[in-house]
Chain A
Amino acid sequence: RKEVEQDPGPFNVPEGATVAFNCTYSNSASQSFFWYRQDCRKEPKLLMSVYSSGNEDGRFTAQLNRASQYISLLIRDSKLSDSATYLCVVLSNSGYALNFGKGTSLLVTP
């Protein structure tokens, strides 16, 4: 079983829609969490870190629920350029390796 589980999608949404992605992790001792975005055949790009109190960056909001070991990402007012794979990522206990989910594919259509 993977340490980080995500719904692979795809999520097909129209421009302007709000879409939410969820992710669960298995290691209750995990301390650092991230959402990365990856375009086809490109490198993962850090979208945002995820904090216990929840955090927002423009149209993007991330939430962490430690009790349920659950992470979410909300994208408001979707743009065509948001089309990508969104990777839920958890830092390993070593403090070095990142454990990736398989990613959720998002396609925003006109």
Chain B
Amino acid sequence: AAGVIQSPRHLIKEKRETATLKCYPIPRHDTVYWYQQGPGQDPQFLISFYEKMQSDKGSIPDRFSAQQFSDYHSELNMSSLELGDSALYFCASRGPGTGDNEQFFGPGTRLTVL
């Protein structure tokens, strides 16, 4: 079965640079979520979109922004990168027919800020 696709899988940036992470949800899924997982930490919710509108916002820094496009893919834009932004960034999706608010995660993008 098709899964959530994330690109790139690995990204290395310098401090103060920008980065864009992409997420392609499972086909027919209309809701996308972004999570950040630092080393040794549990995933922290950043932001979500339902039908291209922001549906919830968590601990996303003001330096980050995100959107969902008409084809339901989503992009997380990160500016003025800091060392502390180094983490795994997961995208998850959910859609009609998915039971009980279940979210399915992509393989993640590993961001390293030097």
- Interchain CB contact under 8 A, A45 and B105: yes
Given the interface pairs A43-B90, A96-B56, A97-B58, the reply to whether A34 lies near B45 with Cβ below 8 Å is no
Q: How far is the CA of A42 from the CA of B109 in the complex (A)?
A: 10
Residues of A within 8 A of B (CB): 32, 34, 41-46, 49, 87, 91-92, 94-103
In the complex, chain A residues whose CB is within 8 Å of the CB of B104: 46
CB-nearest residue of chain A relative to B48?
A96
A-B residue pairs, 9 tightest by C-beta: A96-B56, A97-B45, A100-B42, A43-B105, A96-B48, A94-B56, A49-B100, A32-B101, A102-B42
- Interchain CB contact under 8 A, B56 and A103: no
For chain B, the bracket of interface size reads: 20 to 34
Q: How far is the CA of A91 from the CA of B106 in the complex (A)?
A: 18
- Interchain CB contact under 8 A, B33 and A44: no
Chain A CB within 8 A of B7 CB: no
Q: How far is the CA of A98 from the CA of B42 in the complex (A)?
A: 11
| Chain A binding surface SS class | loop
- Interchain CB contact under 8 A, A46 and B102: yes
Q: How far is the CA of A35 from the CA of B107 in the complex (A)?
A: 18
- Interchain CB contact under 8 A, B107 and A43: yes
Q: How far is the CA of A22 from the CA of B34 in the complex (A)?
A: 26
CB-nearest residue of chain A relative to B104?
A46
In the complex, chain B residues whose CB is within 8 Å of the CB of A44: 43, 90, 105
CB-nearest residue of chain B relative to A33?
B100
Our pick among A43, A46, A97, A100 for the contact of B56 (Cβ within 8 Å) is A97
Q: How far is the CA of A34 from the CA of B91 in the complex (A)?
A: 17
